[in-house]
Amino acid sequence: MTRTFGVAGVVLAAMLGAAGGAPARGDVQAAAVKHINRLSVEFVGQFQNSAPGVTPATHTHYGYLSYIRGVPAFSGTPANETTALFTFYADSITLRVISDGPLRIITRTGKLTFYRDPSGDATFAKPETFRNGTRILVGTFRQQVVNNTVTGSFTTFHQVMVTSTRPFATAHGKVQLGRVGQAFRIAFAGQGNMPGPPSGFFGGYGLSG
């Protein structure tokens, strides 16, 4: 009888030890990451071109995301840079400019970064504040701008390739945007403000698939 109880005790201790070492179902669910691979985002921003004569010519555009599919974009109202939860910043260089009557077709390449930044400290008066947050997605891009020199209006098209992406915390758990190697497209429309600063203003959207 004593031997039987002794063996049972050993088995029970082993079972309890195994149960203690395995994560609970709730812990597994809490650690899960929701992947949003079908990207749909909207942009509000401004840009700054380098001064005439700078070689190579440079360009930055920056601002906040006013919509992200599957994730709240603002912490409250009004919906602007002070309540935006996500910002973006892009650096690029100009490869060429082609004249076509009143149009200038500009080609650029560069890097785009999305940031998670709930601090509310972003301001267009200080463009660098749009990259104060935590990087959540980085991509390289090729951009074509069609600029109307008569009206100062323009449109742009970007081809973006995701080079890194990382999960971030939300009120409903961790989320990750896109995947490495994924391509998505961005289109902007805006108005120049030369010589600025800023050099212009724009809005637009980005889609994958």
If you average pLDDT over residues 34-50, what whole number do you get? 96
Terminal Cα distance for the chain, rounded: 69
The Cβ of residue 88 has, within 10 Å, a number of other Cβ atoms equal to 24
Classify 181 in phi/psi space as left (phi over 0), alpha (psi -120 to 50) or beta.
Answer: left
If you average pLDDT over residues 17-34, what whole number do you get? 55
pTM metric for this prediction: 0.84
> 12 or 193, which is more confident?
193
pLDDT value of position 4: 46
pLDDT in tens, 52-105: 889 999 999 999 999 999 999 999 999 999 999 999 999 999 999 999 999 999
- By DSSP bridging, strand 33-36 and strand 86-100 are unpaired
Give 31's pLDDT tier (boundaries 50, 70, 90). Answer: low
pLDDT value of position 204: 98
Q: Residue 8 pLDDT more than 50?
A: no
Query: Average pLDDT over the chain, rounded to whole?
Result: 89
pLDDT in tens, 141-197: 999 999 999 999 999 999 999 999 999 998 889 999 999 999 999 999 999 998 889
Give 9's pLDDT tier (boundaries 50, 70, 90). Answer: very low
Greatest pairwise CA separation for the chain in angstroms: 101
Q: Which of 1-5, 62-66, 96-100, 123-127 has the lowest mean pLDDT?
A: 1-5
Tell me what percent of the residues of the chain surpass a pLDDT of 70.
85
User: CA-to-CA distance for 156 and 186, rounded, in angstroms?
Assistant: 8
Torsion sign across C-alpha atoms 77, 129, 199, 154: negative
pLDDT in tens, 182-204: 999 999 999 999 888 999 999 99
Q: Residue 37 pLDDT more than 50?
A: yes
- By DSSP bridging, strand 58-68 and strand 33-36 are unpaired
If you average pLDDT over residues 131-139, what whole number do you get? 97
If you average pLDDT over residues 108-121, what whole number do you get? 97
How many whole angstroms from its chain centre is CA 187? Answer: 15
Residue 181 is encoded by which pair of tokens? 């190697």
